[in-house]
Structure 1
Amino acid sequence: MSKRLALNLYGPELSRLQSELVKLQEWVRSEGARVVVVFEGRDAAGKGSAIKRVTEYLNPRVVRIAALPAPTERERTQFYFQRYLAQLPAAGEIVLFDRSWYNRAGVERVMGFCTSDEYRRFLHQCPIVERLLVEDGLLLRKYWFSVSDAEQQKRFKARLHDPMRRWKLSPIDLESVNRWEDYSRAKDEMFVHTDIPEAPWHVVDSDDKRAARINMIAHLLSSIPYRDVRRPPVHLPPRPAPQGYVRPPLTSQTFVPDHAASLRATPQRRTS
């Protein structure tokens, strides 16, 4: 297994790539492009952290994350793709799917949440739907985050003992340990049917999360012919002279308690 990407290499390159993502965002906005990025992969493969790095400096009015919950009873009776299609971008927008319509080919297939007929229908319809999206001008990119069983187990254990991340462990996540090979077979069959020229899958080796984020973002940027959009220069206007406004007494407003003051008043423990 390769050594984890060093922080002194990761940090500067991530910053450079994030600055390019800002340029991509401005190009999408100015050109009226529509971009969809699908993040899929096993539980604990690093999809969420990659999405966070992509969106860290971007405008939430331009770039939106779609992370849909389980379908309602009404949604279960709809055309399967319907609730996902409602999340697609308009002109000048980017949508990142934190899991997507591919739930049907993964967790729903393995856990028995869909019938065999529904599953087969999905494998038939999905390439058709994606070809229609691409034909309509939508820029669709699909990433599969691949993690080894040993690394997944390590991350699950870390979450189990971390109260800040324990919420990430669901019963379905834990069951995925027992069904590792079932998920592998489901992923392989999904690729056979949906790795199409118009919308190919791109596999991200994510045993090293830092390298995975760098590789995924670099590939996304290289796959879209964006350019640096020159924005009109912005000049801060001079502050106008006072016009007689008098602020109400501070005692007339309810301020949040000064928790920071209590920290300043507490003696700080010296660290060696």
Structure 2
Amino acid sequence: MKKAKMPSAEPAPSADGGHFPKTLRRLQIELVKLQSHVISCDEKILVVLEGRDAAGKDGVIKRIVEHLSPRETRVVALGKPSDRDRSAWYFQRWAAQLPTQREFVLFNRSWYNRAGVEHVMGFCTKEEYREFIATVPAFEEMLVHSGVRLLKYYLDISRAEQKRRLSKRRTDPLKQWKLSPIDKAAPKLWNEYSTARDAMLAATHTAVAPWTIVRTDDKRAARVNLIKDLLFRLHYRPKDKKLIMADPSIVFPFTEDVLKTQRLAQ
């Protein structure tokens, strides 16, 4: 009697055409090489990650920093502003978190809270919103001219996938900490967030600080392709050029045509 063939323990192929763990490991090796370059050349790297609730910001950040030096790597996820913060210059608390030489800093949400959740939820006035939209391009230009290498990613997710992930958070005891009152309100305000997203991207996409869109319904594909794009945009040696070519159907630059052709989740 022949023995039944055991199923393969190999992971399912990811959307980039390879096995996810293997591809991720190779990319994380590239990230370590990148950080060595950043440290040796006294560079300042800032990665801004924005997107709807449950779009996968925490997951991709975890994979980026997993094997990087904790001394030169920081993840910034600021909470609700204090009374003092609200009375100060809006960018002040973010400015205190900017990278210094040799640092690799990732913002899990950023000053763009004002164009997103604050604007939609009514946490800021219309005048404060208009002032932000008018001044943020100059603020970012100032950062870039001061030597900060700024990368801005907007993680886009479909309505159905967001609903599924938020529902899972309510039942998974390991993810319930992620569910906030803001998250609970997000599905009901889908259209309002879409309008705010489109206005934000159109007004704050500049030659100096452009936006890059990442489709995140497939978590694994989003993670590896965002990392590929990040590595492609930053200078270091030696670079595995074939490995870091991102899938243009998952990661692509924002343009006016992105809105016209409805490439973002509606």
User: Could you tell me the TM-score, scaled by structure 2's length?
Assistant: 0.83
Which residue of 216, 219, 226 maps to 1:209?
219
2:61 alignment partner in structure 1: 51
Deviation sequence 1:175-210 (CA, Å, 0-9, x none): 011000000000100011101110100000000000
Which residue of 110, 116, 139 maps to 1:106?
116
Is the 1:39–1:144 contact (alpha carbons within 8 Å) kept by the matching residues of 2?
yes
Is 1:89 paired with 2:99? yes
Q: For 2:66 and 2:32, how far apart are their aligned partners in 1?
A: 10
Is 1:19 paired with 2:29? yes
Deviation at 1:7, TM superposition (A): 9.7
1:229-244 matches, within 5 Å, as none
Is the 2:16–2:221 contact (alpha carbons within 8 Å) kept by the matching residues of 1?
no
Q: For 1:81 and 1:94, how far apart are their aligned partners in 2?
A: 20
1:247 alignment partner in structure 2: none
1:111-260 matches, within 5 Å, as 111-228=121-238
One-letter code aligned to 1:42: R
After superposition, the Cα gap between the structure-2 partners of 1:121 and 1:6, relative to the gap in structure 1 and judged at 3 Å, is: closer
Deviation at 1:51, TM superposition (A): 0.1
Q: For 1:55 and 1:4, how far apart are their aligned partners in 2?
A: 21
CA RMSD for the aligned pairs? 1.5
> For 1:226, what is the secondary structure of its paired residue?
coil
User: Could you tell me the TM-score, scaled by structure 1's length?
Assistant: 0.81
> For 1:104, what is the secondary structure of its paired residue?
helix
Deviation at 1:6, TM superposition (A): 8.2
Q: For 1:194 and 1:208, how far apart are their aligned partners in 2?
A: 27
2:89 alignment partner in structure 1: 79
Deviation at 1:167, TM superposition (A): 1.4
Unaligned runs of 5+ in 2: 1-12, 240-266
Is the 1:134–1:198 contact (alpha carbons within 8 Å) kept by the matching residues of 2?
yes
Is the 1:146–1:204 contact (alpha carbons within 8 Å) kept by the matching residues of 2?
yes
Structure of larger gyration radius? 1
Q: For 1:45 and 1:16, how far apart are their aligned partners in 2?
A: 24
One-letter code aligned to 1:34: K
1:67 alignment partner in structure 2: 77
Which residue of 31, 39, 49 maps to 2:41?
31
> For 2:119, what is the secondary structure of its paired residue?
helix
After superposition, the Cα gap between the structure-2 partners of 1:6 and 1:160, relative to the gap in structure 1 and judged at 3 Å, is: farther
One-letter code aligned to 1:16: R
